[in-house]
Structure 1
Amino acid sequence: MKLLKRYKNKIIPIILLLILFLIVLIYLCNDSINSVANIIIISFILSYLISPARDFIEYRFKIKKTTASLLIIIGILSLIITCVVIIIPELVKEVSNIGVIFDNIAEFLDSISGRFKMINFPALNSIYNEILEKGNIIFLNFSKSIINNFILITENIISCAILPVVVYYFLCDGEKIYNKILLILPTEKRALTKRILNDIDKVLGRYIASQIFLSVIIGCMTFILLIIFKVKFPVWISLLNAILNIIPYFGPIFGGIPAVIVAFLDSPIKAFWVACGIFIIQQIEGNILSPKITGDSTDMHPIVIIILLLIGDKFGGFIGMVLAVPIGVVIKVLYDDINYYLF
């Protein structure tokens, strides 16, 4: 018994690490646990993202946290329903015209083939046929992806319905849950843990807010550019550019390519001017908006960010690239705080 008390501070962390390892193992191996855990994780992330809006409503209108949480959930659901009613039909209409783009590509390639008489050059003719085949494969994969995503959303409709409820409880009782989890730790470690978590919350909150604000601005600027030059699918391309802009460095490049390609199908001159417009937007974002809005929220060297993005892409694709920098920010704050408080 004396021996147990003596090594209590060492045994508890080991037990906690073993429990954490077991939870991760079960999450990876059991599909049922995986789906439940995903709902909790997604709900936590969403509640964390919208908690500043809840705090603002609570403070501004002097109402209870439960009322503010309910209002923010109702507001977001209303916004989603409005988008579904107004925007989705337009997006469906634009998607139905995707086949026209591929027809234009085929016609363009046919004209190039006829102009340069590629049939007389077996190597060029082979490349031409390969391009057509790859184009058909891309179109088929795109169609399958839309169908599969629709089926996936239909299959997970119950999970989607549960999400707002779980988010609501996280918004209302997040602080209570946070304090209960802290009780697991030894008393002398709780104050330090709170301090470190508060530091993470400040830095991560600033980074997320700045990136969302920046993405909204870039999406609006892209939409205006596409409307001016009458480029097809302005809503799709603007949304894509805004979402991809969340990824530092690579996002603006990935987001600008679809706009130029779609404009090129109408006219090479139009593609040139759209490319110039996208380049100007990227310069404004990279040299003016990003430094002012994002500032030094990450305080990491660009090489470190690029490495994080490459690792994120390797392990999680697009989602991995989106999460790579926030995870890097958390690790950096942990490292700095542990160095400061413990050493």
Structure 2
Amino acid sequence: MERKNNYISMGVTAFLTAAAVLLFYDTLFGGKVLLALLETVRPILYGAFIAYLLAPMVNFFERHLFPPHPGRKRSQAMLIRTVGILLAWLMVWFFFYLLASVLLPELYKSVLQLIANVDKYYQTISGWVTSLSNHLLETNPDLAQQIVEKLGDYFQDFGKWLSGLLPQLQTVMTTVSGGVWSAVNFVMDLLVGIIASVYLLATKERCAAYGRKLVYSLFPREQVGLVLRGTKRADTIFSGFVRGKLLDSIIIGILCFVCCSILKFPYTPLVSVFVGVTNVIPFFGPFLGAIPSTFLILLVSPRQALYFVIFVLALQQLDGNVIGPKILGNTTGLSSLWVIIAILVGGGFFGVAGMFFGVPVCACLNSLINFFVDARLRKKGLSPDSGEYAAGGAYGPRPE
């Protein structure tokens, strides 16, 4: 009977391993069935993410406004949970109200100003290009001849493109309408996600209990502690990075808005939104936000554009050396090289969301691999300290 159970266990393990490999291959190179499934449950994922962000706030209100005591009834606990969720959402909506009342009017004015000055900016860029091209053509006659020949080819290609433009207008209109429909779907999914987040926050202890029950049913009793500790470690990495990075980006956006207003940079609200939103992307985010912002200011004043570049460099130094470490600490434990690799791989497969979540996912995998490597080394009677395997260490290369 025991041998039969071992065969069944080996068969289930082999099946699950093969299914995981096929699913991984399909996600990366095939029909992306997993991604299609995630698209289907996207509102629930939104709700889970929102509940994950708001859970510490709900716990804070419950702990400080209603201290726990052993004689509390279930109805009282549900009422306290309802008050905590309500206060958390009131804080969120109050923050967005302040942000909208202060930022949106100024952002609207900046966009209108940008649209009104498009012609002026076109003339400015045209003047720069004309003066640069005139200087190059006067000093390089051969280059001038080559440019004239290339321009003739470009005009012919442009004429062919214009002749085929009308049939493409229908495709363009379809794309635009699809974008509008995608925005509507996003809003609807977000509303469903908000409702789901309220339910998840109300039943988070029950969900956690069911998760532990599932772990006890799937793993041997002696391994349950390892699984739960690994889950807690993953939660520490994700909560520290995701919540900390969002808070850090909000602080950077507000600092950028205040300082740019004091320094009287043009398009201050628009620039602050660029810098704050792109700051959520580790490593590359500051550059992604600074480049379009610098270009916008350059169209108005090259001198102010130079001052803005200096300001952004100073702001990012402040963020990287003071604000970021205070909020994030070393939650991921990854080196700069692995952060870059995680961003590039995550962004390549999943876009902006992959660039953001790639770092904590890579950190969790790194922690898991280190755990297994250290466990194997201890089982062999070897030291898990990496310094012991470097030159001069107990297991490092010997000098010749």
* One of 185, 198, 203 as aligned partner of 2:232: 198
Q: How many residues align?
A: 330
Match of 2:258 in 1: 224
Match of 1:168 in 2: 198
Q: Which runs of 5+ in 2 are unaligned?
A: 67-76, 139-143, 159-172, 380-400
| 2: CA distance, partners of 1:32 / 1:115 | 52
| 1: CA distance, partners of 2:345 / 2:323 | 26
Match of 1:137 in 2: none
Change (3 A) 1:287 1:72: closer
Task: Output aligned runs, 1:57-68, within 5 Å.
Answer: 57-62=61-66, 64-68=80-84
| 2: CA distance, partners of 1:15 / 1:256 | 49
User: Aligned-pair distance for 1:111?
Assistant: 2.1
* One of 323, 338, 342 as aligned partner of 1:289: 323
Bigger drift between 236-245 and 186-195 goes to: 186-195
User: Aligned-pair distance for 1:296?
Assistant: 1.9
Match of 1:257 in 2: 291
Contact map agreement 1:237 1:259 (CA 8 A) in 2: yes
Contact map agreement 2:238 2:360 (CA 8 A) in 1: yes
* One of 262, 272, 282 as aligned partner of 1:238: 272
User: Aligned-pair distance for 1:146?
Assistant: 8.8
Change (3 A) 1:117 1:169: closer
User: Aligned-pair distance for 1:81?
Assistant: 5.8
For the pair 1:110 / 2:126, whether they are aligned, the reply is: yes
Match of 2:208 in 1: 178
Match of 2:6 in 1: 6
Contact map agreement 2:237 2:360 (CA 8 A) in 1: no
Change (3 A) 1:304 1:163: same
Contact map agreement 1:73 1:164 (CA 8 A) in 2: no
* One of 72, 93, 96 as aligned partner of 2:88: 72
| 1: CA distance, partners of 2:268 / 2:115 | 17
Bigger drift between 78-87 and 204-213 goes to: 78-87
User: Aligned-pair distance for 1:325?
Assistant: 0.5
Q: Deviations over 1:106-163 (max 9, x none)?
A: 1112323554563874666879xx9xx9xxxxxxxxx999976544222344322211
Equivalent residue of 1:278, what SS? helix
Bigger drift between 3-12 and 15-24 goes to: 15-24
Pairwise CA RMSD of aligned residues? Answer: 3.6
TM-score (norm 1): 0.80
Equivalent residue of 1:246, what SS? coil
| 2: CA distance, partners of 1:85 / 1:152 | 27
Bigger drift between 153-162 and 50-59 goes to: 153-162
Task: Output aligned runs, 1:109-148, within 5 Å.
Answer: 109-115=125-131, 118=134, 121=144
For the pair 1:269 / 2:282, whether they are aligned, the reply is: no
Equivalent residue of 2:127, what SS? helix
Change (3 A) 1:108 1:196: same
Contact map agreement 1:308 1:324 (CA 8 A) in 2: yes
Q: Where does structure 1 differ by over 6 angstroms across 4 or more consecutive aligned residues?
A: 18-27, 124-127, 143-147
Equivalent residue of 1:299, what SS? coil
Change (3 A) 1:14 1:93: farther
Match of 2:110 in 1: 94
Q: For residue 178 of structure 1, what is the amino acid of its counterpart?
A: A
* One of 54, 58, 62 as aligned partner of 2:58: 54
**Equivalent pairs: percent with the same residue?**
21
Change (3 A) 1:144 1:86: farther
Contact map agreement 1:196 1:337 (CA 8 A) in 2: no
Match of 2:45 in 1: 41
Change (3 A) 1:123 1:42: farther
TM-score (norm 2): 0.70
Bigger drift between 71-80 and 199-208 goes to: 71-80
